[in-house]
């Protein structure tokens, strides 16, 4: 994933004129599309590289403080993203900013790590964390994101996770359950089963009904689909829609 972010292996990071861009290549087309046909709920999701994962990936192997500059990286990411969020606001569209931290399990509950997200919390109308590693629950609870997106395909919700999710949702976090894989095809009933198992695990601890829990949740693929072909993205969306329908029956 670091290679996807920076274009080369972390140890070979460099800079070139073609990378000297303040916004993604797809931004003009994206902005034009949401301006012409804005979503009914007037919210779009933007996703940024996680400062903690990025700092950990590019640090030297013997670095005892790999996250020392994570807040500075977070501040830079926030500043780079703010103009895009402002452009959306000018069009009456709010932004959910998701911070992508696929290797967050290598970090501990530390003020340096928590502070790294501070500059990103208020860029959009809400903020969240996408975590497709094994969730570090103590750190996630300390972060208190508005939205938490986890991968149920690779990591089934265990007792510790169920207890953490129960506490987090009571404090206002919305869960985004990653219930179907990106790189292989699975039946919607399998994704629905994952969703039901996770929701039932949490329900057993906080006594919120399954239907109410689902109504207050989001369903997603286990990881990002941006690198997939459009027909593959459409297929994943169809699986998610069908799985959610099966789960709420």
Which strands sit side by side in the sheet containing 43-49, from one edge to the other?
A: 43-49, 94-100, 126-131, 147-151, 174-180, 218-221
Q: What is the pLDDT of residue 155?
A: 94
Is there a single domain that holds both residue 29 and residue 70?
yes
Q: Is residue 236 part of a domain?
A: yes
- Residue 237 has a CB neighbour count (10 Å cut-off) of 14
For the chain, what is the domain count? 2
Does residue 70 share a domain with residue 41? yes
Dihedral of the alpha carbons of 88, 93, 96, 98, in degrees to the nearest 10: -30
Query: Which pLDDT score, from 0 to 100, does residue 60 have?
Result: 73
In a domain, 237, yes or no: yes
Full domain range(s) for residue 78: 1-10+22-130
User: Would you say residue 116 lies in a domain?
Assistant: yes
The closest alpha carbon to 52, from 114, 6, 97, belongs to: 114
| Residue segments in the chain with a per-residue pLDDT below the cut of 70 | 1-21, 61, 203-213
- pLDDT at site 2: 60
What is the pLDDT at residue 83?
A: 93
pLDDT tens-place string over residues 93-124? 999 999 999 989 888 888 889 999 999 999 99
Containing 46, the helix (H) or strand (E) segment is strand 43-49
Instruction: Please tell me the distance from the alpha carbon of residue 9 to that of residue 103, in angstroms, as a whole number.
Output: 15
Residue 108 sits in the same domain as residue 154: no
Instruction: State the pLDDT at residue 55.
Output: 87
17 domain-assigned: no
Structure confidence at residue 111 (pLDDT):
87
What is residue 59's predicted lDDT score, i.e. its pLDDT?
Answer: 75
């Amino acid at each position: 994933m670091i290679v996807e972010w920076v274009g080369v292996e972390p140890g070979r990071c460099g800079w070139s004129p073609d990378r000297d861009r303040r916004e993604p290549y797809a931004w003009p087309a994206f902005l034009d599309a949401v301006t012409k046909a804005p979503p009914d709920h007037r919210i779009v999701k933007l996703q940024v590289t996680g400062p903690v994962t990025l700092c950990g990936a590019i640090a030297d192997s013997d670095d005892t403080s790999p996250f020392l500059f994570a807040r500075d990286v977070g501040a830079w990411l926030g500043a780079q993203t703010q103009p895009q969020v402002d452009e959306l606001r000018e069009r009456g569209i709010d932004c959910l900013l998701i911070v992508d931290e696929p290797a967050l399990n290598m970090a501990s509950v530390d003020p340096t790590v928590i502070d790294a997200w501070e500059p990103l919390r208020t860029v959009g109308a809400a903020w969240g964390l996408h975590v497709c590693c094994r969730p570090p629950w103590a750190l996630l609870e300390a972060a208190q994101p508005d939205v938490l997106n986890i991968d149920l395909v690779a990591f089934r919700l265990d007792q510790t996770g169920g207890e953490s999710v129960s506490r987090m949702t009571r404090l206002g976090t919305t869960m985004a359950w990653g219930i179907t894989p990106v790189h292989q095809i699975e039946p919607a009933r399998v994704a629905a089963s994952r969703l039901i198992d996770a929701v039932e695990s949490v329900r057993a601890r906080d006594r919120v009904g399954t239907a109410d829990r689902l109504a207050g949740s989001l369903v997603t693929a286990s990881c990002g689909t941006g690198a997939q072909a459009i027909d593959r993205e459409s297929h994943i969306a169809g699986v998610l829609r069908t799985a959610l329908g099966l789960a709420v029956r």
